[in-house]
């Protein structure tokens, strides 16, 4: 007998501390403008708690150190010092009931140093090859950095795509296939979100070399074996160099990627896993693939877990002299270590405290602490030991008791008492003893069996211990028993149909009657599932649009406050079949396989047929119906042959069952298989060519798509011969993505016509030849037409033309020279690719007549020239720089005015239209560019040394530059002066305005 199994603390008499706010990990930036750190600590307690703090388990003595002070329970650290104040802090809260220790919180001093000022070496790489630019971030804390890369100037950040990737682990920039357009200066931009600071590196020049080649995929960004925590998100990186640009795919080697908890981004380079679970642990593989080869990398993901409570302690009041177990269990990986504190001091190094014969000394504040390398959790509780005479104040015997005729009645007796009291019962004045119908339980409850009207009356419970005695009385009334008068019947229906179940009962008219419906012992929620369940006239259950899940045992319970009775009926629901199981593939041929499976549930209606579907992994298409043999797969079959497949293609299959009631869901996909290799049947298309020099034959074609390779080692055989020559020449091309072949022969005469045909081959043999076509060697026969030619400045012009619609054109040559001054043979030349129809001309002389012509070219030479176009370049820009006549700072010291004299051009120079002012940090080529038509400008004062460059602007271009330097040290000194001195100094400097170059 235990009169008090669990009694919570009664807070009206006071209670120990309960944390409402605890300190958290803090990162204090070393460059922070704030001069203090506040570590929070707040509790609810009666009487109010007092507070102390520890740093690395050493108590802080407030008052001995000017850096520390208390604000309520919060610890304030003024003017933080890394050498003194970094570490782990904990708060102790105490009152007369005991002491609690808060969770530990770290204080770290965050920083992000500047990059080295050393120049970075240029990176030279051939076009088509891959490049890696190293970031090498500077020293920093904490570790969480984000990386971006700038190109040429701030804030021109490069956009990432399937060709370019920035690792968020190392910061390195990877370019899988370098192009000429990648040329430029690159800078690594590093940000620390924890301290809100960013820095960037010196520029790294990337210089592509015009020598293209193809090479296989080569993975360079490889996530290392990784540990992560349950519930967290993680990103795995994988990026490959290669030409053509590799495709990247991810898979889980020992299972499937989590269906709804993964995402792949950055063209496959990033695998994001969300809400990590223990089953996500395993081996992950990324595969990079291009036409030259493939590369794989495996990374092991280990999933661990911070401690979590499975069972934890709670505050309790227990009887003196009794026994009590205080237990806490924690899950986690690795398994957490558990220990107990009492009033802030170590008490026991295990997960359970066992108390026997409790005394008042056992009262206090207890903490259970579970920790592993991923974290620490606290469970806090107050134990209070109670002693007192029996009392029914909080839990008297029920004053009115009801029992059903011939039923069973239990009357509880649970006084509050310590030590535990002895219990006895009486009916009226008769003392009760155990018999065949009456039993007093060890917990004090009184049980009456087969009750009748003669059992009605008053029942009293007596409780007594060494501190006193008490009693409590209740009155028992006996009612008629409840009986079922209409029971529900069994039913058999199909999915989508409706049915009704009936239930009625008789009961004591003085009591309320309630009907409860349940399915397989679970009560039906009519609000949540009102789409299918509805009460009709209280006693009927209507089941509408029935689904398979609604089949089972339905129970109707008629219940009064005194008793209840239950009857049941079975509902059978027939529907479409479930998914087949165990789908496997064997007998794999070039264009057919055998698919086998096992029957799924028929849901009480025989399966009439099966359908087989397939998915082509290379095409990444949706599921499609497969052609089978036999065409119609009967419902008793467990295998079928799938035909009309493509050789050397990766497939997966699934099976779907159908019966007279509908088609069920598909099976799980089969393991992936690859059909056997076969000879190719498709030849290259759109064979053409020509061009080349007078001794070269260029042959072009459209490559065969990968789904038609039909086997490994795929390539092409080219056959060609001069027209009317009986003998064919043959060459082999092994790269299936190649689109051009050049045959060189010094004996080929100009304007020769060739017949060309091609076929494909693989490891299984050769396919059929294409239809032969004629290819000629000749220069472009037409001349381009110039659309427009106009001058841009004294030295630049732009020209555009109508492109020629000839496949043999490889590009255009633009020539230009000064009329009557220069020889046509010494003309300047610009080569333009065939895909463009305009270009810029530069290095021209001012105030001059120029002639321009355009002609197309290919490997055989240049075609005819266009009609010549005449333009006249503009006069030269002003050759004299502006004369700076004043640099004046305003009173507040926030802006500085730069003034200069009007530039007067010479007779042969362009008229001044305005001025350009470049305001840039000293030592850097880029800054902020302003334009103005005035002879002065106000610029904002900035920290650091700056240069101001002023030049005149005209239609002929920008003139010579004048420069003035603005130095930081004078700016700082002026701002630190008092108001009067500042005005005086500014007046003095205003009188020095006649200097051409001044420093502030």
Run of H or E residues at 982: helix 979-990
Question: Does a structural domain hold residue 892?
Answer: yes
- For the chain, the straight-line distance linking the first and the last C-alpha, in angstroms and rounded, comes to 93
pLDDT tens-digit readout, 792-820 = 999 999 999 999 887 678 789 999 999 98
Same domain flag for 491 and 469: no
Question: Does a structural domain hold residue 117?
Answer: no
The CA dihedral of 65, 67, 70, 73, to the nearest 10 degrees, is: -110
Residue 153: predicted pLDDT: 82
Same domain flag for 467 and 554: no
- Tokens for 450? 């087969």
Domain count, the chain: 9
Same domain flag for 24 and 106: yes
DSSP 989: H
| Cα–Cα separations (whole angstroms), residue 515 to 221, 480, 541, 569, 800 | 67, 17, 10, 15, 90
> Whole-angstrom Cα distance, residue 499 to residue 478?
39
772 in Cβ contact with 854 (< 8 Å): no
Residue 750: predicted pLDDT: 64
> Whole-angstrom Cα distance, residue 954 to residue 877?
6
Question: Does a structural domain hold residue 999?
Answer: no
Same domain flag for 415 and 436: yes
**How many Cα atoms are found within 13 Å in the side-chain-facing hemisphere of 214?**
14
Segments of the chain with pLDDT less than 50: 1-6, 969, 973-1000
Same domain flag for 690 and 771: yes
Backbone angles phi, psi at 312, to 5 degrees: -135, 165
768 in Cβ contact with 796 (< 8 Å): no
Same domain flag for 789 and 824: yes
> Whole-angstrom Cα distance, residue 697 to residue 700?
10
> Whole-angstrom Cα distance, residue 218 to residue 458?
91
DSSP count for the chain of H helices, then E strands: 3, 89
Of 731, 712, 707, which Cα lies nearest the Cα of 721? 731
Same domain flag for 648 and 709: no
176 in Cβ contact with 214 (< 8 Å): no
Backbone angles phi, psi at 824, to 5 degrees: -55, -35
Domain boundary among 425, 444, 477: 477
| Cα–Cα separations (whole angstroms), residue 657 to 110, 579, 642, 670 | 63, 7, 16, 16
Instruction: Give one word for 751, left, alpha or beta, with left for phi > 0 and alpha for psi -120 to 50.
Output: left
Same domain flag for 327 and 397: no
Run of H or E residues at 215: strand 215-222
Question: Does a structural domain hold residue 165?
Answer: no
Domain boundary among 776, 802, 821: 776
Of 20, 60, 30, 41, which Cα lies nearest the Cα of 105? 41
Long-range contacts of 925-931 (CB under 8 A, 24+ apart): 926/153, 926/154
| Cα–Cα separations (whole angstroms), residue 741 to 293, 364, 514, 683, 737 | 21, 90, 90, 16, 12
Residue 77: predicted pLDDT: 95
Question: Does a structural domain hold residue 680?
Answer: no
CATH number of residue 263's parent domain:
2.60.40.10
Run of H or E residues at 975: helix 968-976
DSSP 82: H
Question: Does a structural domain hold residue 320?
Answer: yes
> Whole-angstrom Cα distance, residue 178 to residue 207?
10
> Whole-angstrom Cα distance, residue 729 to residue 307?
75
Burial 237-264 (b: 16+ CB within 10 A, else e): bbbbbbbebbbbbbebeeeeeeeeeeee
Question: Does a structural domain hold residue 800?
Answer: yes
Domain that holds residue 913: 883-971
**Number of other CB atoms surrounding residue 218 within 10 Å:** 18
DSSP 644: S
Instruction: Report helix angle 979-990 to 968-976, nearest 10.
Output: 140
Same domain flag for 601 and 645: yes
933 in Cβ contact with 915 (< 8 Å): yes
Same domain flag for 800 and 839: yes
> Whole-angstrom Cα distance, residue 103 to residue 63?
24
Run of H or E residues at 987: helix 979-990
DSSP 193: T
Domain boundary among 839, 873, 907: 873
- Tokens for 286? 């990324």
| Cα–Cα separations (whole angstroms), residue 681 to 248, 507, 763 | 29, 86, 13
> Whole-angstrom Cα distance, residue 371 to residue 583?
46
| Cross-strand pairs, 754 | 722, 775
Question: Does a structural domain hold residue 127?
Answer: no
Same domain flag for 697 and 760: yes
Long-range contacts of 249-253 (CB under 8 A, 24+ apart): 249/286, 249/287, 249/289, 250/284, 250/285, 250/286, 250/287, 251/284, 251/285, 251/287, 252/282, 252/283, 252/284, 252/285, 253/282, 253/283, 253/284, 253/285, 253/298
> Strand 262-265 to strand 247-252: parallel, antiparallel, or no bridges (unpaired)?
unpaired
Residue 987: predicted pLDDT: 45
Using the structure block, give the residue that is written with the tokens 């969480």.
144
| Residues 6+ away with beta carbon under 8 Å from 170 | 134, 135
Same domain flag for 404 and 317: no
């Amino acid at each position: 007998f235990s009169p008090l199994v669990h009694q919570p603390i009664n807070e009206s008499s006071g209670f120990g501390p309960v944390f409402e706010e605890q300190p958290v990990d803090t990162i204090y930036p070393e460059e922070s403008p704030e001069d203090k750190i506040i570590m929070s600590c707040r509790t609810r307690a009666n009487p109010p708690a007092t507070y102390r703090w520890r740093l690395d388990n050493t108590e802080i003595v407030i008052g001995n150190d000017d850096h520390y002070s208390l604000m309520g329970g919060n610890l304030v650290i003024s003017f933080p010092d890394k050498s003194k104040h970094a570490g782990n802090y904990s708060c102790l809260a105490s009152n007369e009931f005991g002491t609690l220790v808060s969770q530990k919180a770290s204080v770290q001093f965050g920083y992000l140093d500047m990059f080295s000022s050393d120049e970075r070496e240029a990176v030279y790489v051939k076009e088509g090859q891959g490049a890696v630019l190293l970031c090498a971030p500077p020293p920093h804390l904490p570790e969480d950095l984000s990386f971006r890369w700038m190109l040429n100037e701030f804030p021109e950040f490069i956009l990432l795509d399937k060709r370019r990737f920035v690792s968020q682990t190392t910061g390195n920039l990877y370019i899988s296939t370098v192009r000429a357009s990648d040329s430029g200066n690159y800078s690594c931009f590093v940000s620390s979100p924890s301290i809100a600071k960013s820095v960037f590196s010196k520029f790294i020049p990337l210089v592509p070399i015009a020598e293209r080649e193809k090479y296989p995929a080569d993975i360079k960004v490889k996530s290392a074996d990784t540990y992560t925590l349950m519930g967290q998100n993680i990103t795995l990186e994988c990026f490959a160099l290669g030409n053509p640009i590799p495709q990247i795919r991810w898979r889980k080697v020992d299972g499937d990627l989590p269906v709804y908890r993964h995402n792949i981004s950055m063209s496959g380079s990033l695998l994001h896993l969300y809400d990590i679970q223990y089953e996500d642990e395993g081996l992950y593989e990324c595969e990079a693939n291009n036409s030259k080869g493939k590369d794989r990398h495996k990374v092991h993901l280990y999933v661990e877990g911070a401690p979590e409570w499975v069972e934890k302690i709670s505050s309790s009041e227990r009887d003196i002299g009794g026994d009590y177990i205080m237990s806490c269990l924690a899950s986690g990986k690795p398994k957490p270590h558990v220990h107990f504190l009492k009033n802030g001091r170590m008490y026991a190094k295990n997960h359970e405290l066992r108390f026997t014969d409790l005394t008042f000394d056992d009262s206090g504040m207890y903490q259970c602490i579970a920790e592993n390398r991923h974290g620490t959790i606290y469970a806090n509780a107050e134990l209070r030991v109670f002693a007192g005479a029996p009392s029914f104040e909080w839990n008297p015997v029920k004053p009115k008791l009801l029992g059903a005729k011939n039923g069973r009645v239990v009357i509880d007796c649970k006084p509050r008492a310590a030590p535990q009291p002895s219990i006895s019962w009486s009916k009226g004045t008769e003392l009760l003893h155990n018999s065949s119908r009456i039993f007093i339980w060890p917990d004090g409850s009184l049980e009456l069996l087969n009750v009748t009207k003669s059992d009605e009356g008053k029942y009293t419970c007596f409780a007594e211990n060494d501190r006193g005695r008490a009693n409590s009385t209740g009155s028992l009334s006996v009612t008629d028993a409840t009986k079922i008068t209409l029971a529900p019947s069994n039913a058999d229906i199909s999915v989508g149909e409706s049915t009704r179940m009936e239930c009625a009962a008789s009961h004591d008219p003085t009591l309320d009657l309630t009907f409860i419906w349940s399915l397989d012992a679970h009560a039906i929620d009519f609000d949540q599932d009102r789409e299918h369940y509805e009460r009709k006239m209280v006693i009927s259950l209507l089941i509408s649009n029935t689904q398979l899940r609604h089949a089972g045992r339905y129970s109707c319970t008629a219940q009064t406050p005194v008793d209840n009775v239950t009857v049941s009926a079975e509902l059978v629901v027939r529907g479409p079949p479930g998914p087949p199981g165990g789908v496997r593939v064997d007998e794999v041929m070039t264009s057919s396989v055998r698919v086998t499976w096992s029957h799924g549930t028929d849901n009480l209606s025989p399966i009439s047929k099966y359908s087989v579907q397939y998915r082509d992994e290379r095409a990444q298409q949706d599921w499609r119906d497969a052609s089978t043999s036999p065409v119609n797969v009967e419902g008793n079959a467990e295998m079928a042959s799938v035909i009309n497949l493509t050789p050397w293609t990766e497939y997966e299959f699934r099976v779907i069952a159908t019966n007279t009631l509908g088609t069920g869901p598909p099976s799980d996909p089969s393991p992936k298989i690859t059909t056997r290799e076969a000879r190719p049947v498709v030849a290259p298309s759109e064979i053409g060519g020509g061009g080349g020099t007078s001794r070269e034959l260029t042959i072009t074609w459209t490559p065969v798509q990968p789904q038609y390779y039909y086997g490994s080692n795929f390539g092409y055989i080219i056959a060609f011969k001069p027209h009317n020559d009986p003998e064919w020449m043959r060459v082999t091309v092994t790269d299936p993505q190649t689109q051009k072949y050049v045959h060189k022969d010094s004996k080929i005469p100009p304007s020769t016509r060739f017949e060309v045909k091609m076929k494909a081959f693989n490891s299984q043999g050769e396919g059929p030849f294409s239809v032969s076509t004629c290819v000629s060697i000749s220069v472009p026969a037409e001349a381009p037409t110039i659309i427009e030619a106009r001058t841009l400045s004294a030295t630049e012009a732009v020209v555009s033309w109508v492109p020629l619609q000839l496949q043999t054109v490889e590009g255009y040559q633009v020539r230009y020279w000064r009329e009557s001054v220069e020889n046509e043979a010494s003309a300047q030349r610009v080569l333009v690719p065939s895909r463009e129809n305009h270009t810029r001309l530069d290095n021209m002389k001012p105030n001059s007549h120029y002639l321009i012509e355009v002609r197309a070219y290919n490997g055989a030479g240049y075609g005819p020239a266009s009609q010549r176009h005449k333009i006249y370049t503009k006069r030269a820009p002003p050759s004299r720089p502006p004369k700076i006549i004043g640099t004046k700072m305003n009173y507040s010291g926030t802006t500085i005015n730069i003034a200069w004299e009007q530039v007067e051009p010479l007779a042969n120079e362009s008229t001044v239209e305005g001025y350009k002012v470049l305001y840039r940090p000293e030592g850097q080529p880029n800054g902020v560019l302003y334009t103005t038509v005035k002879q002065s400008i106000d610029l904002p004062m900035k920290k650091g040394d700056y240069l101001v460059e002023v030049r005149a602007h005209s239609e002929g271009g920008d003139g010579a530059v004048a420069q003035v330097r603005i130095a930081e040290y004078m700016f700082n000194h002026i701002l630190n002066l008092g108001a009067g001195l500042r005005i005086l100094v500014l007046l003095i400097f205003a009188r020095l305005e006649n200097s051409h170059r001044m420093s502030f």
